[in-house]
Amino acid sequence: MKTERDMLLLTDWAGQDDCAGWLISEKLEGCRAYWDGSALWTRGGFAVNAPSWFTAGLPAGVHLDGELWAGRGQLTAARLACQHGRFESDVRFMVFDSPGTRRTWPQRMAAARRAIESAPHASAVSFQPCRGVDHLSAVYFKILANGGEGIVLRHPSATGYGPGRSRLALRIKPGIAHEHLLYERAEVFA
């Protein structure tokens, strides 16, 4: 069993302009889920009552960190799955880390992709390199305009997976301080 104390947590972006080369992925609005190699667990340490058809193909003995996600604007469906075991066909386990792999985040994601190749209800999050704060702003506001929650920035050379807030895994979503810095650059998106 894993709990929030054992998980890598995102830190709020502080508005730094040195984000070129970091990796951008969408911040998914769902329910955090951790696969311990045999079962799914919530961030609070509760077992997820996931049906066998949903966990089919998830790798035995391999730890994966991710999110139960049903799509943009579908948080209720993810919560019903996580809290009540009511899994609909559109709920997916979106993997965003492979904690047992002691390499860089892109290498951990490559390991995660290989590990879930046979899991029909799991996908690895996609990411792209950031070309700078203007590009970051464009991606951020495009995701928000399409109903997304925000973005995650990860440093490409950060190795390992450790518990607690990481300065090498950042989040940007509405209401976070320094969002105004991105808004000032939003003309790139317009």
- Give the amino acid at 184: E
Instruction: Judge whether residue 190 has pLDDT over 50.
Output: no
Question: Do residues 135 and 141 touch, judged by C-beta distance below 8 A?
Answer: no
SS3 37: coil
Question: Do residues 33 and 41 touch, judged by C-beta distance below 8 A?
Answer: yes
Q: Give the pTM.
A: 0.91
Distance CA 58, CA 144 (A): 31
Q: Which run of H or of E encompasses 69?
A: strand 64-69
Instruction: Judge whether residue 139 has pLDDT over 70.
Output: yes
Residues 99-128: pLDDT tens digits? 988 899 999 999 999 999 999 999 999 999
How much of the chain exceeds pLDDT 70, in percent? 91
Query: 97: which 2 tokens?
Result: 């880390």
In 25-38, which positions are buried (b, 16+ CB within 10 angstroms) versus exposed (e)? Answer: bbbbbbbbbbbbee
Q: Does domain 7-28+127-190 have CATH number 3.30.1490.70?
A: yes
Of residues 1 and 136, the one with the higher pLDDT is 136
* Residues forming CATH 3.30.470.30 domain(s) in the chain: 29-124
Instruction: Judge whether residue 179 has pLDDT over 90.
Output: no
Q: What pLDDT sits at residue 124?
A: 98
Say if residue 180 is exposed, middle or buried (CB neighbours under 10 Å; 0-12, 13-18, 19+).
exposed
Q: What pLDDT sits at residue 45?
A: 93
Residues 58-75, mean pLDDT to the nearest whole number: 97
Q: CATH second-level architecture of 29-124? A: 2-Layer Sandwich (3.30)
* Residues forming CATH 3.30.1490.70 domain(s) in the chain: 7-28+127-190
- What pLDDT band is residue 36 in, cutting at 50, 70 and 90? very high
